[in-house]
């Protein structure tokens, strides 16, 4: 079995089936066992076929459907998950567990994930409503739109997404949206590349609202926030914690990058 994305790689390991994987993409760095597997190029059919897989796992969140189609046409069994919401992420655990013959493990994983998401929603409901964006990249400005698990992540944390509908899942948008008076929360995957790009953006007029302190900048660990797998529940919990920190009296909103102050406790057994 070959996984074409880190997301499905993590799901396979979470289903206790990691020993069946013969190759994964180089970006599959969790869990530690995944790092030791041979690498494939998800965009190269020959690279995948070189490992003679009896099953290929893919995702609509990052894999090229043309590659998946070519593999299927060549007689390779392929299964693709479609994690366009938190609910669909949970469904992917059930789908892959059935494919791998471990349905009870899939149900267990789905219940745990869904329970953590539900508890995070309840905590977030105690916060004031806000409007924001999930920024994937700064220049050009790319955000998560409706129909993505990032959109659902914002909604579960009580953040109304200002990304335009109908422009695609991760559209490039006019930077003037950063000046929208409704914008009070910006969520960004925290990694060196996005930090560097933001530093360059800070020199431009469009960034003045972000630097004014009126907007809460919430930098979430890119891993797991960018992975549509079991640890996405952890990213949601971190986002809710960060929102509580950003709204704590005496804390500058523009400085609330990560949880920096105590928030109401998680229900027993629900914290990561």
pLDDT of residue 248: 64
Q: How many domains does the chain have?
A: 2
Query: Is residue 266 a part of any domain in this protein?
Result: no
Cis bond before residue 31 (omega within 30° of 0): yes
- Spell out the alpha helix ranges (H) of the chain: 6-14, 32-35, 45-49, 65-73, 86-99, 103-124, 149-156, 192-201, 208-211, 222-225, 232-246
CB atoms within 10 A of CB 250: 5
Distance CA 209, CA 140 (A): 17
Q: Of 81, 116, 142, which marks where a domain is finished?
A: 81
| Grouped pLDDT means (10 residues each) for the chain, 272 residues | 97 97 96 96 97 97 95 97 96 98 98 97 95 93 95 97 89 88 93 89 74 86 93 97 80 41 38 38
Residues 71 and 167 in one domain: no
Query: Is residue 188 a part of any domain in this protein?
Result: yes
Distance CA 144, CA 172 (A): 9
Query: Is residue 272 a part of any domain in this protein?
Result: no
Query: Is residue 225 a part of any domain in this protein?
Result: yes
Residues 7 and 70 in one domain: yes
- 137 beta partners: 142
Residues 73 and 16 in one domain: yes
CB atoms within 10 A of CB 245: 21
Residues 146 and 215 in one domain: yes
Q: Domain range spanning residue 245? A: 128-255
Residues 160 and 215 in one domain: yes
**CATH number reported for the structural domain that contains residue 203 in this entry:** 3.40.50.1980
């Amino acid at each position: 079995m070959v996984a074409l994305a880190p997301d499905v790689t993590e799901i396979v390991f979470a289903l206790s089936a990691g020993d069946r994987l013969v190759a994964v993409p180089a970006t599959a760095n969790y869990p530690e066992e995944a790092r030791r597997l041979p690498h494939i190029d998800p965009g190269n059919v020959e690279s995948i076929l070189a490992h003679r897989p009896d099953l290929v796992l893919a995702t609509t969140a990052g894999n090229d459907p043309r590659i998946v189609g070519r593999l299927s046409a060549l007689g390779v069994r392929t299964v693709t998950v479609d994690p366009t919401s938190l609910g669909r992420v949970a469904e992917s655990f059930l789908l892959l567990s059935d494919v791998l013959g471990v349905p009870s493990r899939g149900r267990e994983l789905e219940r745990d994930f869904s329970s953590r998401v539900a508890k995070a929603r309840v905590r977030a409901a105690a916060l004031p409503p806000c409007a924001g964006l999930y920024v994937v990249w700064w220049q050009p400005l790319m955000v998560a739109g409706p129909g993505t698990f990032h959109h659902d992540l914002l909604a579960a944390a009580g953040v109304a997404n200002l990304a335009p509908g109908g422009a695609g899942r991760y559209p490039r948008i006019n930077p003037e949206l950063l000046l929208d008076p409704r914008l009070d929360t910006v969520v960004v995957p925290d990694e060196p590349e996005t930090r560097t790009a933001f530093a360059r953006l800070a020199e431009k007029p469009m960034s003045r609202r972000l630097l004014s302190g009126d907007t809460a900048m919430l930098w979430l660990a890119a891993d797991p926030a960018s992975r549509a797998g079991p640890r996405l529940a952890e990213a949601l919990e971190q986002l809710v914690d960060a929102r509580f920190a950003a709204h704590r009296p005496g804390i500058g909103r523009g400085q609330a990058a990560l949880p920096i102050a105590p928030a109401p406790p998680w229900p027993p057994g629900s914290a990561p």
